[in-house]
Amino acid sequence: MPKTLRIVPLCSIHDPVRTHRNITYRLVPGTAVRARKLASTAGACRYVWNTVLADQQGLYLSARAAGAEPPSVSFFTLGKAYTQLRRVTPWLQELPFAPIRYTLKYQADAWQRLFRGQGARPRFKARRGDDRVTFPGGSFRIEGDVVRLARIGPMRLRRRGGNPYPDGVPKQVAVKRVGKRWHAVVCYEVEVGERPDDGRALGIDMNVGQVTTSDGAILRQPVSSMLMARHRRQQRVAARRRKGSRRRLRMVRRAARTARKLAMRRRNWQHQMSRRLADRAATLVVEDLRVRGMTASARGTVEQPGTNVQQKAGLNRSILHTGWGDLRRMLEYKAATVVAVHPAYSSQTCHACGHVSAASRPCQAQFKCVSCGHTAHADVNAARNILALGTGATGRRGALALATPQTRQPVSEAA
């Protein structure tokens, strides 16, 4: 039977608020010298991360072996370790101070998560060419389409459509290497306008490769089988080549480029879908993804994916599966209100009578209630249950069960 339900209002923007927006630009170093400095700075971040981590891990392990409390780890204490390291490392002194120090902020955060029991131990960074470096406020300046990075120099920012937030205040710049290119993700503090409540709400069910709404729309994520086949082939070829060889590295890079292309397409689709959903209703009800993993088997999505993906299960599934978190984040800033509900049993509950039974799902696509005979598209039925949970939550927060009919909105059957 339905367990306790979690209802989390994720966001609500009915008044103007100040918030943050990340915009990705191509970063054009312009000269080989600047490109080299950028690469050394990113490399230095990795060096400092690994050196400080090795020390911290030693302290951590010896404390644990002695049965003592692990040492306190904060950005401040790690920052001090960096200052000492920099003093005895001449080549670090030629590189910008703040961005390299800032990498330890992420390490301190990782340690804090570990101590709270929310994450694994921070790991060493391998040299893979995907280095990144964050320039915190004060270590960069943006004028028009030029960003001036401390100790590196001025560089062009390129983006189709330019800066969508010309009034935004740039707070930090994250620079990362993507293949042979550099990207700069600028975080702006922006004022987001009021988004009026139009009284409409939409339930959203996210399944393998598709998004289904409570009003019956099915938005399928397009899959380029050609690109996926190419990716598989490149990985296969790379695996056959001798480890450490140039030819293998070349193929690994080609495979990475294909993977980026697939990711870009997925992202583009997610942006378009989230925009469409946000425009349809002010309130969007989604599944709480933090409990998604626990309920995945009950929903029969991971163990029994749709028949259309069964043949190419492995890779397809992983590609289709990733990104629901991204889609939801996009909804959170595009829609006026996003509510997350516990998705347990939303796919096994009859929307008409509230009966819960796994037997009501004769197949992946169909819902046929074993109690009242109500039939519907399985995902549409689930989306309606999700909507009912979310809209009931606004009036009677936390105190409703999935099988309480009166909390449900009357929705006519759209076949």
Give the footprint of Zn ion on this chain (CB under 5 A): 350, 352-353, 355, 369, 371-372, 374
The answer to whether residue 379 is catalytic is yes
Pairing verdict, β 153-158 and 283-287:
unpaired
**Residue ranges of the alpha helices (H) in 241-291?**
246-280
Which residue in 131, 287, 288, 332 is the catalytic one? Answer: 287
Least separation, in Å, of the C-beta of 357 and Zn ion?
9
Question: At its nearest, how many Å lie between Zn ion and the CB of residue 354?
Answer: 7
Residue nearer to Zn ion on the CB measure, 229 or 372: 372
Q: Which of 131, 288, 332, 379 is catalytic?
A: 379
d(CA 189, CA 245): 46
Residue closer to Zn ion (CB basis): 133 or 350: 350
Residue 198 known to be catalytic: no
* Nearest residue to 310 via CA among 209, 170, 191: 209
Q: Decide: 104 and 83 in contact? Cβ < 8 Å.
A: no
What six digits make up the tokens of 181?
A: 């290119």
Cβ count within 10 A of residue 167: 9
Q: Which is nearer to Zn ion, 101 or 351 (CB)?
A: 351
Residues in contact with 57: Cβ distance below 8 Å, sequence separation at least 6, in sequence order:
121
Compute the least distance from the CB of residue 392 to Zn ion, in Å: 18
Nearer to Zn ion, 248 or 355 (CB): 355
Q: Shortest Cβ distance from residue 358 to Zn ion (Å)?
A: 14
CB-wise, 248 or 374, nearer to Zn ion? 374
Nearest CB to Zn ion, comparing residues 157 and 369: 369
Question: Secondary structure of 278-316 in the HEC alphabet?
Answer: HHHCCEEEEECHHHHHHHHHHHCCCCCCCHHHHCCHHHH
The active-site residue out of 205, 303, 332, 413 is: 205
Q: Is 405 helix (H, G, I), strand (E, B) or coil?
A: helix
Could you tell me the smallest distance in angstroms from the CB atom of residue 382 to Zn ion? 14
Q: What angle do CA 334, 339, 344 make, to 5 degrees?
A: 130
For CA atoms 10, 14, 18, 21, the dihedral sign is: positive
**Which residues lie below 8 Å from residue 5, measured CB to CB, with a gap of 6+?**
341, 342, 344, 389, 398, 400, 401, 402
**Three-state DSSP class for residue 89:** coil
Other Cβ atoms less than 10 A from the Cβ of 315: the count is 14
| Residue 194 is among the residues annotated as catalytic for this protein | no
- Residues with active-site annotation: 205, 287, 379
